[in-house]
Amino acid sequence: MYKKLFKLAGICLLLIFVQSTLLAEKRCAINYPNRFLLTHKLKRIKNVDIIKTETTEKWTQMEIELRDEQYPLTINLLIGHKRFPKKMMFMVAPSGQNFRSTFFSPIDRNMALYLLEKGYLVVGVTYREDKLPIEDVGQFLTDWGMEKHTADLRKAVKLIQRIIKLPYDMIGQASSAVSIMDYASHYSGKLDKIILLDTDSFDPSLQPEKVVYADMTYNALNQIIASGMYANPFIDSLRNMIFAGTMYPDADSGQARDFLGLPGNFTYAGLLHFSLIYTAFLPGLHTPITGLPGEWVMIQGVTAGYYNYALDPLSDSYGFTYTSLGDLVQVGMNIGTGIIPIAYNRDIYALQSLNGAYEIDWSGIEERVIMINSEYSSGNQAYYGTLIQLAGNNDVSLNLIQGYAYIDLLLSPYAAYDVWPFILQD
């Protein structure tokens, strides 16, 4: 008799456990993304692998690969342990970088952790080129333009929405910010707000020469693609400069200073500082065709800082205003392949030139739009916001961060006070 009672009690407990688990899974899908149940759900989805899990007292981060193609789309889930998130933030890394190098560096002070503390569940999205080996560039990158990146962003959102039914915002920088606009023009649903960091766009009535430059660059990139080159090496070169500038600061870089009217070559540390502070004046991929600097779209450069020249390169003095070399090293260590598809850049220049080769349906962007530009990178070049407003959406704001440049928006120790609160605007 007792055996039967124990057996019956065991069955009852099992039923209660199953029911509570199912209820918890349902709750997870509605409003509380518990990391254990998320792991369980992700493991049941085809072509999805959890490749890394990192846990601290306050949060868990899961790195996921969507392997629906030969090279995966990478998604990072950053989940707080003590707070019920009411919203998700999709943090979309620019091409050539990834979630860790952009939004999760430095490890102890970054935008992703800031947003986690403000109540978001953070979803990082890294495009496929981050895992694409250089030897396969010619096979895959010929048509990895804006349309491909927007489609992959949609895949990331749909995957996460299968397991977490929360409204969401999106943030991106430079190229990924343009993809977010393209995404918002096609899909709304639970998307509430888009945040655009340093997007360059030119008013044809105020900057007609830059619209012309954009068209010249668009045509040049088409020529480069036709010649059989498909990847822009800018990020890889930047990573090499960071490591050389920190490991061999006083060594001769081999880069002459003659274009400044000065003798001798830059030191590696000098070249790193000059290149990041005055990026807008350096040659680039399309320069032999257009005669324009590689990053002519910028007002000045990637980081804010100063550079004082001396006759002896070893006597040059320089420094960054906000960003530290240690933080730059963390960024460099987290970068994957560093590959940027030229086709992606080409489509962005098509949008900037207004030549119609690639277009966004500006009337489809109905969400709140927050633009955050740095003074020394994009500045007041914010014509995309005007186009969105002209299409009927007046919920657009531009926040110009004085004294900052592109990477300072992410790495400055004061960004949590100077920049990031603008993201939280309703």
Task: Please name each of the domains of the chain with its CATH number.
Answer: 37-206+367-424 (3.40.50.1820), 208-334 (no CATH)
Query: Which pLDDT score is estimated for 11?
Result: 54
H helix runs in 199-324, sequence order? 208-226, 234-247, 268-277, 287-290
Instruction: Please indicate whether residue 137 or residue 341 has the higher confidence score (pLDDT).
Output: 341
319-323's contacts with Cβ under 8 Å and 24+ in sequence apart are 319/273, 320/273, 320/276, 320/277, 321/403, 321/408, 322/404, 322/408, 322/411, 322/412, 322/413, 322/414, 322/415, 323/407, 323/408, 323/411, 323/412
Query: Which pLDDT score is estimated for 29?
Result: 39
Query: Which pLDDT score is estimated for 43?
Result: 87
| Percentage of the chain modeled with pLDDT above 90 | 83
Query: Which pLDDT score is estimated for 3?
Result: 53
pLDDT digits (tens, 9 = 90+) for 366-376: 999 999 999 99
CA-to-CA distance for 307 and 317, rounded, in angstroms?
6
Query: Which pLDDT score is estimated for 271?
Result: 97
Residue holding tokens 């926040």? Answer: 399
Contacts of 324 (CB under 8 A, 6+ apart): 411, 413
Res. 103: pLDDT tops 90: yes
CA-to-CA distance for 208 and 122, rounded, in angstroms?
39
pLDDT digits (tens, 9 = 90+) for 231-285: 998 888 889 999 999 999 999 999 999 999 999 999 999 999 999 999 999 999 9
Instruction: Please indicate whether residue 268 or residue 30 has the higher confidence score (pLDDT).
Output: 268
For residue 135, name the pLDDT band (cuts at 50, 70, 90).
confident
For residue 121, give Cα distances in angstroms to 115, 170, 193: 8, 12, 15
Phi and psi, residue 183, nearest 5°: -60, -50
- Bridge partners of 120, per DSSP, are 87
Instruction: Please indicate whether residue 138 or residue 159 has the higher confidence score (pLDDT).
Output: 159
CA-to-CA distance for 362 and 392, rounded, in angstroms?
9
Average pLDDT over residues 31-35: 58
What is the helix, strand, coil percentage profile of the chain, to 5?
Answer: 45, 20, 35
Res. 25: pLDDT tops 60: no
Write down the mean pLDDT value for the chain: 92
Residue holding tokens 């999760």? Answer: 104
| Buried-exposed string 189-209: b where 16+ CB fall within 10 A, e elsewhere | eebebbbbbbbbbbeeeebee
For residue 91, give Cα distances in angstroms to 116, 168, 177, 416: 12, 11, 10, 16
Query: Which pLDDT score is estimated for 140?
Result: 87
Query: Which pLDDT score is estimated for 19?
Result: 52
Res. 8: pLDDT tops 80: no
Cα 350 from chain centre = 20
Average pLDDT over residues 333-343: 94
Res. 298: pLDDT tops 70: yes
Res. 15: pLDDT tops 50: no
For residue 220, give Cα distances in angstroms to 140, 141, 228, 303: 20, 17, 13, 27
For residue 146, name the pLDDT band (cuts at 50, 70, 90).
very high
Name the residue among 200, 175, 83 with its Cα closest to residue 125.
Answer: 175
Name the residue among 191, 175, 154 with its Cα closest to residue 75.
Answer: 154
Query: Which pLDDT score is estimated for 84?
Result: 81
Average pLDDT over residues 140-164: 95
Query: Which pLDDT score is estimated for 334?
Result: 94
